[in-house]
Structure 1
């Protein structure tokens, strides 16, 4: 929105008081109260908290933490991870090492866990630490404390079972100083209760006033839950005089809920934001009458947002239109970026998640993807939180896109963990969530959209690659949607043109991933219930355009989705899957003698497939290869390094860097504890792939981990099912083709 003075503004008196008369202005008008004289303190000097370390679990807590799901980034190749970790602990990314400590060999990891110092701690770290603490107990204490020093939000919860002087002091400090940590401190003092009192008393009766206030606030909280008399008796371990002082403090202490309550006059002045000029921002618009906030109120709103007063501003946000708030929010973000993204303003990303919409998602996702390459991994991780906070289908689609395809492994890992959290919260697997992350984009029952320009209309449909097809009133296809003209309706045409632009962007974002996802489902043999198949494929307005161009399997029979969305077999006879059917995408090896007939049907109907299915190349192992653990026909071949890296598009993962930052292998997980591993010579130089432009495939083996050495004994390629074997051979044949 323009900031021109001709804008119709809402009067200040019509706005919530917090905008028209912010707290710092009220504070400036009121006389400052006289500073109360500090009372004389009764002090008991020389008291010490109990020594020693302990861990005490709430009922069922240890079992619950032990069962916490951890994403095993890179597979459960623990021997390989342990070797990498021992070679250079700081080089292992936090989620990777965390998964190893949570699920790897306990006997070997217990001596190492106390010295683990993870880097790049992200929001998922608390989830990783829980099973580690449940598993290793006190041995994990120092690692948790390191995490707390890096991020209380990500690691603080993992301190809850520990009971010792340092942890109790930390909890008392957080309760008094960190509003965001109160959820941990209340649980902590609630769970440990009276056992914390002996640790708190020395500070509560000591000389230091700050330490005294913190310890007293914690004692008040314990007293609220367990009774003041019980707290006083627990304090008596330090003597009667100390117990009497504690009793006096409890009688005079404010409720803990008031510790973080803002003074009635509020902040004395607004925060300094030299990089932001509120007068230049697009102003939020009121829902009721379309009037904009005055410039003064807009500036007050920015200051309150910078003070993280979102709860106080809920009424303001509800009064304004979501679209105008999103534009206002994005303008703040853009100003922050132009100022060099100053790190002291974390609220900028928080407010983007609070006020952003789908267009915000489309704009911010490229920024998030680029940040790690600009030494901005931490900002990129917070950007993932923005997408999660916005939480719309479009936001989750983009989050899932980062999890599936981004060149920075650290960011990809965090995005996968974020998607895992979303899936778990909904009681789904990540694959099931992916099914549900495809909106209908407002398409009609025919899988298209009619755009109304007034005197003319255009019909939108999609081809096998989900590219939009545009037809005019006569049915003639056009290369592009025309811009609104002078004869078109002044309101309908621009709105329709804008709607198509958003549709095209959103569909382009998901198209390649959806096609690849279904091809992967064919290769891996994924199955759906009839209800899922109808909801996410046959009946979905967008995905139907892909699904109807494939051959499916159910009840041992093959079928396709006809143009009227009924099902037909290879003879074009009607087919209905049974209620208990498991429905999947047919691989050519599943079709047998029907393959040629299906190819003829699709040719007759001129159906173009989204990926090779009926015409897919099929390969088979030789008898010798089925009984061997190596594929000798591909060994000794030299190929360009770029072609090796292209294997990652088929699900292969690069090995861990070894000496000199060189990756000597690449692997594909084909089953539980089964990997196809290619040993490369000289290997891929991390960050400088052009150093070694070619790679010799020294060995191609089947192993129990992605680190082949010592894990190939007794394994043979005959363990692979025919489809998996065919797909592996197809990829390797293409890789080595001259």
Structure 2
């Protein structure tokens, strides 16, 4: 057991005490620290003060009395405590690193010893920064690692042995051979009865006949080894990213696809027959209540499945997070991404859009980005290309037999029927006795319903694109958007901006013929490689009124509020200020309801258990904060009827937001996101 520092590391960690100096300390804090039996007896701000510059004896005595810290600045707090108290801070480092290895695993880097070795060895399969911290730790403490892990690698099969073997393999790879671990384990054990060939459909061969039973058994044995690929190299993260380390959570790191199997296993098999076989396996596994030991069945669909399989698998994947089947949901996302067909990726998009955040949502986003990149596209471009057309691109005819009607769609995406004479009907007539295909009428009704659902989903997606500043190359407008029967009528009713390095260059609208027009209604030439995005009205400045008039003159009914959108545009004086004055009164219930809209309160780490501060993330690593008086209860039961917002300000997201001084000018905030949040706050007064 010991502490080994890299050159200058301890000094750098100690220097982070300046970032913890919140200026809130009071004369009685020394007494509070001296009288505390455990860290949880102190307020979070007192803990930060204690570790950074409080009495050393009290800090050392309390270091081992907490399971985890509640501060946002846990990396800085841990680094300062470890640099200041060294071995006395080992329990803190073990607790913090064990609670979040990606974010806090670097706190173990100076410590050698068996406890650290056992914990670090389990990180080598992580997708995120924990894998980097593990490698750095092993390279710094090779002898201590070998001493602690060789016995575990020779022990009983299990997770501890597997982790130890992984670590010793890595040590050998970097020049520290100390043990010869066995080959990676192969899944053994008796296969369930439902995997027997007689319980499953026969697999057709492309040349005719069926795959022999012995070959089916070998195929199932191979499928039972199905797994995700090894994590991509190099591991993400960095210790040398300015004052704070660059940390990447496993859910936000590059995600692995399903590892390939030997192609010879499937040689000669009919693809449709394999897919049917795979769906039967999936049905049996679901019927057997999804045993975790046989979860290979999900990954096997990447080798066996087709688009019909993806249609069957996707609803299951969508439901698994709500049933706490997180690992299965991740496997399902990997299967959809590995298959990578239009149908599979359309399901992946729908699953991601239906999630409300969290690690599984983050993984879906990464899988989409990787799938789009494999096609040379952004996720936005991929979503455009995967938008279903419902057959409108090739034309839809309702053939009743003796008579037929053509389906046409107006700019509001309302479908109509058009008879042979060109007369438009709100809906086709009901089938008569002479009509030979009465189902055509029902097809129109289904189309109308499906078209409405698709239009609503795409309008919502494009509105999110506006709020997130998602861009598309101008070449996509003529090639993809304008000719699309659903996207075309939507994008033509919006204002678009040409951006250069994030800066709005000019504003454009799309004419009926697909050309661009500027504010003077003059045809504008746009380079095909120019980046275009949907403009938020706060970006239009003095041009907003002129554009609103053009939209009105052309009687354009926008798909969502754009030029007439409620907004808050800061003055130059407000942009230079570091805070805005508050307002009120606001009903306490409406303030508390903001927590359902991704605002987060501070009440869970305060003694009063009241939110006196609400925070909402902004792009660019910033957070918008509002100070409340008197504060809303964390319990949901409000004892005070009204609240007042006393101040609105911005801070860096990583901070605990305790500093008395305001440091971030509001002009540094993304104007679109800031406007949306300020509108939301003002709406709480009016609702």
Q: Same fold (TM over 0.5)?
A: yes
In 2, the alpha carbon distance for the partners of 1:670 and 1:140 equals 41
Are positions 1:438 and 2:384 aligned together?
Answer: yes
Corresponding position of 1:638: 588
Corresponding position of 1:647: 597
Provide, for residues 595-617 of structure 1, a one-character-per-residue CA deviation record: whole Å limited to 9, x for no partner.
45544543454432221112122
Superposition pairs of residues 64-79 of structure 1, within 5 angstroms: none
Are positions 1:349 and 2:277 aligned together?
Answer: no
Superposition pairs of residues 151-230 of structure 1, within 5 angstroms: 152=125, 159-160=134-135, 162=138, 163-164=142-143, 165-166=146-147, 169=150, 188=170, 191-193=173-175, 195-196=176-177, 199-200=178-179, 214=180
Are positions 1:667 and 2:615 aligned together?
Answer: yes
Are positions 1:371 and 2:320 aligned together?
Answer: yes
Corresponding position of 1:564: 513
Query: Which of the residues 459, 467, 472 maps onto 1:520?
Result: 467
In 2, the alpha carbon distance for the partners of 1:637 and 1:630 equals 20
Q: Is the 8 A contact 1:271 1:306 kept in 2?
A: no
In 1, the alpha carbon distance for the partners of 2:217 and 2:122 equals 35
Moved more, 632-641 or 546-555: 632-641
Provide, for residues 382-434 of structure 1, a one-character-per-residue CA deviation record: whole Å limited to 9, x for no partner.
33333333334554454455555524634334444555666788898xxx433
In 1, the alpha carbon distance for the partners of 2:640 and 2:96 equals 36
Corresponding position of 2:625: 677
Question: How big is the shift at 1:676?
Answer: 1.6
In 1, the alpha carbon distance for the partners of 2:108 and 2:370 equals 21
Are positions 1:544 and 2:488 aligned together?
Answer: yes
Corresponding position of 2:682: 733
Matched residue SS, 1:435:
helix
Matched residue SS, 1:633:
strand
Moved more, 608-617 or 391-400: 391-400
Matched residue SS, 2:119:
helix
Q: Is the 8 A contact 1:377 1:411 kept in 2?
A: yes
Are positions 1:409 and 2:328 aligned together?
Answer: no
Superposition pairs of residues 71-470 of structure 1, within 5 angstroms: 101=75, 106-107=79-80, 111=89, 112-118=92-98, 128=102, 136=109, 145-146=118-119, 148-149=121-122, 152=125, 159-160=134-135, 162=138, 163-164=142-143, 165-166=146-147, 169=150, 188=170, 191-193=173-175, 195-196=176-177, 199-200=178-179, 214=180, 271-274=190-193, 279=198, 281=200, 283-289=202-208, 301-302=219-220, 304-306=222-224, 308=226, 314-400=263-349, 402-403=351-352, 405-407=354-356, 409-416=358-365, 418=367, 432-440=378-386, 443=389, 448-451=393-396, 459=407, 469=415
In 1, the alpha carbon distance for the partners of 2:631 and 2:381 equals 41
In 1, the alpha carbon distance for the partners of 2:333 and 2:313 equals 10
In 1, the alpha carbon distance for the partners of 2:216 and 2:650 equals 62
In 1, the alpha carbon distance for the partners of 2:456 and 2:69 equals 33
In 1, the alpha carbon distance for the partners of 2:473 and 2:358 equals 34
Q: Is the 8 A contact 1:589 1:618 kept in 2?
A: yes
Q: Is the 8 A contact 2:538 2:672 kept in 1?
A: yes
Provide, for residues 104-139 of structure 1, a one-character-per-residue CA deviation record: whole Å limited to 9, x for no partner.
9854577554443546x9xxx7xx48x955993656
Provide, for residues 441-471 of structure 1, a one-character-per-residue CA deviation record: whole Å limited to 9, x for no partner.
5759x9734246776575475866xx67464
Corresponding position of 1:18: none
CA distance change for structure 1 residues 344 and 690 in 2, over 3 Å: closer, same or farther? farther
Question: How big is the shift at 1:726?
Answer: 3.8
Aligned length: 575
In 2, the alpha carbon distance for the partners of 1:332 and 1:184 equals 32
CA distance change for structure 1 residues 604 and 505 in 2, over 3 Å: closer, same or farther? closer
Question: How big is the shift at 1:666?
Answer: 3.6
Provide, for residues 275-309 of structure 1, a one-character-per-residue CA deviation record: whole Å limited to 9, x for no partner.
567656555444455x6668887677545533559
Question: How big is the shift at 1:669?
Answer: 3.3
Which segments of 5 or more consecutive residues in structure 1 lack a partner in the other structure?
A: 1-50, 57-75, 201-213, 218-258
In 2, the alpha carbon distance for the partners of 1:573 and 1:327 equals 57
Corresponding position of 2:458: 511
Question: How big is the shift at 1:576?
Answer: 0.9
Corresponding position of 2:563: 614
Task: Report the TM-score when normalising by structure 2.
Answer: 0.63
Question: How big is the shift at 1:372?
Answer: 3.4
Q: Is the 8 A contact 1:548 1:560 kept in 2?
A: yes
Corresponding position of 2:256: none
In 1, the alpha carbon distance for the partners of 2:388 and 2:284 equals 33
Corresponding position of 2:536: 587
Are positions 1:704 and 2:638 aligned together?
Answer: no
Question: How big is the shift at 1:348?
Answer: 1.6
Provide, for residues 224-247 of structure 1, a one-character-per-residue CA deviation record: whole Å limited to 9, x for no partner.
xxxxxxxxxxxxxxxxxxxxxxxx
Query: Which of the residues 480, 503, 523 maps onto 1:574?
Result: 523
Moved more, 570-579 or 104-113: 104-113
In 2, the alpha carbon distance for the partners of 1:345 and 1:722 equals 50
In 1, the alpha carbon distance for the partners of 2:586 and 2:644 equals 5
Superposition pairs of residues 26-41 of structure 1, within 5 angstroms: none
In 2, the alpha carbon distance for the partners of 1:580 and 1:276 equals 53
Bigger relative contact order, structure 1 or 2, given CA contacts below 8 A and separation 6+? 1
CA distance change for structure 1 residues 437 and 636 in 2, over 3 Å: closer, same or farther? closer
Task: Report the TM-score when normalising by structure 1.
Answer: 0.60
Matched residue SS, 1:336:
helix
Question: How big is the shift at 1:587?
Answer: 3.3
Matched residue SS, 1:552:
strand
Question: How big is the shift at 1:341?
Answer: 1.6
In 1, the alpha carbon distance for the partners of 2:20 and 2:430 equals 55
Provide, for residues 62-89 of structure 1, a one-character-per-residue CA deviation record: whole Å limited to 9, x for no partner.
xxxxxxxxxxxxxx99999997x99975
Corresponding position of 1:658: 605
